[in-house]
């Protein structure tokens, strides 16, 4: 969100209100078991938790589509739309729109992920009418004023230029290209230095027309509002949207089969390694077993096998992690670490060795028991605010899970057996890795950086 200069007194008031909002948002929500399926008078459906613990309302919502709907050769359209929807709408220019948000400490944001165009709205209960009204304007009457478009375009391009010297960004970009090739999942959601300058207002208006509609909308709301009031707010906000989206079909895709390795030269002291391969889809019967065994390998922070092997035993990296990533049309596992340039080969070897070991042997019963205990105990800590709970409820809808999934999850974790975990480990990691290394060439990495010349 772009900030503008406003009088000192008004800025102080806005900052104080924002601080209050953040404090309230940190209060725990105990309403996870009271999830309702609400249908508004106009037919807008939402998963809803009424929670009067604090006078705060949090809403998360998403339209199917996302960056995968960017036109060929113009990746980044969805990202530009997300950056511009709160830059003025209706008769409110960008400055006036933001002043309205700041005056009431309303938090409004948009993003374009691979499969979804997502939005987030948070407000104090007393400001709900204005907050939902501003969201309605943003979705139905975006201005896309020329000055704002060019300002946002310049910001996006500036970030993309920085990415050309950021080894982590380069590694992620290259990994997706290796994994998915020409499929839309192989593109970056924020576009490229070639594509972003080509995006015009017509492209963005067409994206809004095709993607933002009622039939591909999912909503989650948590907060101090009753069902009748919320139903009316949802109708006023989303009821005027087109009935049906017009999405381009996206093909199913399997990530490239390992093993493969790619190298991107970049003269930086620390080499970045991104590794991964085909994952397990969210509705695969083996998903929960994969989720648990993945925690053991690389998702458990200081307790994970990769951390112990790469960091604690060998001192090769400060951190290393690995996680599951699932999409509507595919799935990955993906990990990352950074190491000294002259130890990159040793680091990759250590990661590959540990992944081969768990693929061949699976976890131990002790590891499995500890992982299950952690995953069950940490669930409610991950849902301790209204915003976190709303985000989780939205994700469960996008994953097509049942409305009582929160109640069922721990039983699903408990049901994972050692044999299940071993089979999942073999399926995930038995083929090896797709590996992308960004840094100095091996021969250059073996040499220390040249010392600066000394004055005589």
pLDDT digits (tens, 9 = 90+) for 227-279: 999 999 999 999 999 999 999 999 999 999 999 999 999 999 999 999 999 99
Whole-number percent of the chain with pLDDT over 70: 89
State which H helix or E strand residue 428 sits in: helix 418-429
pLDDT in tens, 166-194: 999 999 999 999 999 999 999 999 999 99
DSSP-assigned letters across all residues of 306-352: HIIIIIIIT--EEEEEEEEEE-SS-EEEEEEEEEEGGGHHHHHHHHH
Q: Go through the domains of the chain in sequence order and give each one's CATH number.
A: 9-238 (3.30.830.10), 260-442 (3.30.830.10)
332: confidence class by pLDDT, cuts 50, 70, 90: very high
pLDDT per position as a tens digit, 356-368: 999 999 999 999 9
pLDDT at 26: 41
Global pTM exceeds 0.85: yes
DSSP string, 203-214: HHHHHHHHH--S
Instruction: State mean pLDDT over 193-202.
Output: 98
Sheet with 217-223, edge to edge strand ranges: 36-39, 45-50, 217-223, 56-64, 116-124, 107-112
pLDDT at res. 443: 54
- Please choose, from the candidates 281, 277, 280, the residue with its C-alpha nearest in 3D space to the C-alpha of residue 258: 277
E-state strands within 101-186:
107-112, 116-124
Q: What is the mean pLDDT of the chain?
A: 90
- 391: which 2 tokens? 């985000």
Question: Would the pLDDT of 27 be above 80?
Answer: no
pLDDT for 111: 97
Go through the chain and tell me how many residues it has.
456
Q: Is a pLDDT exceeding 70 seen at residue 12?
A: no
pLDDT of residue 337: 96
* pLDDT for 3 beyond 90: no
Of the pLDDT bands very low, low, confident and very high (cuts 50, 70, 90), residue 453 is very low
Going 76 to 77 to 78 to 80, the CA torsion angle's sign is positive
Tell me: pLDDT of 17 over 50. Answer: no
Integer-rounded Cα radius of gyration of the chain: 24
């Amino acid at each position: 969100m772009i900030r503008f200069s406003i009088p000192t007194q008004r800025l102080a008031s806005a900052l104080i209100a924002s601080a209050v909002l953040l404090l309230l948002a940190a209060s725990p929500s105990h309403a996870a078991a009271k999830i309702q399926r609400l249908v508004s008078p106009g037919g807008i459906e939402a998963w809803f938790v009424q929670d009067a613990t604090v006078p705060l309302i949090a809403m998360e919502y998403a339209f199917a589509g996302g960056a995968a709907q960017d036109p060929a050769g113009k990746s980044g359209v969805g990202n530009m739309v997300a950056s511009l929807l709160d830059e003025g709408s209706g008769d409110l220019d960008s400055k006036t729109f933001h002043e309205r948000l700041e005056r009431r400490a309303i938090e409004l944001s948009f993003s374009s992920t691979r499969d979804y165009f997502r939005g987030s709205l948070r407000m104090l209960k007393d400001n709900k009418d204005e907050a939902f009204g501003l969201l309605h304007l943003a979705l139905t009457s975006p201005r896309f004023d020329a000055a704002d478009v060019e300002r946002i375009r310049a910001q996006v391009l500036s970030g993309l230029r920085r990415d050309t010297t950021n080894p982590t960004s380069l590694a992620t970009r290259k990994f997706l290209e290796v994994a998915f090739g020409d499929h839309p999942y192989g593109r970056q959601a924020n576009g490229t230095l070639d594509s972003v300058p080509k995006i015009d207002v017509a492209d963005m208006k067409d994206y809004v027309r095709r993607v933002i509609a009622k039939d591909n909308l999912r909503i989650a709301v948590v907060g101090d509002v009753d069902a009748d009031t919320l139903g009316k707010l949802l109708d006023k906000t989303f009821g005027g949207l087109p009935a049906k989206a017009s999405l381009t079909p996206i093909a199913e895709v399997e990530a490239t089969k390992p093993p493969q390795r790619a190298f991107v030269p970049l003269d930086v002291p620390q080499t970045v390694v991104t590794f991964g391969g085909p994952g397990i889809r969210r509705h695969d019967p083996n998903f929960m077993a994969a989720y648990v065994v993945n925690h053991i390998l690389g998702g458990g922070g200081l307790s994970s096998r990769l951390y112990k092997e790469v960091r604690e035993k060998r001192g090769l990296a400060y951190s290393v992690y690995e996680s599951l990533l699932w999409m509507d049309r595919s799935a990955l596992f993906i990990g990352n670490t950074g190491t000294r340039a002259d130890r990159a080969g040793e680091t990759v070897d250590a990661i590959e060795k540990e992944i081969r070991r768990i693929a061949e042997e699976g976890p131990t019963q002790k590891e499995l028991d500890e992982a299950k205990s952690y995953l069950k105990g940490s669930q409610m800590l991950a849902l301790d605010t209204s915003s976190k709970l709303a985000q989780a409820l939205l994700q469960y809808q996008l994953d097509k899970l049942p409305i009582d999934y929160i109640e069922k999850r721990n039983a699903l974790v408990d049901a994972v057996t050692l044999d299940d975990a071993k089979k999942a480990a073999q399926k995930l990691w038995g083929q090896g890795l797709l590996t992308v290394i960004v840094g100095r060439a091996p021969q250059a990495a073996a040499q220390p950086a040249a010392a600066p010349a000394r004055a005589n």
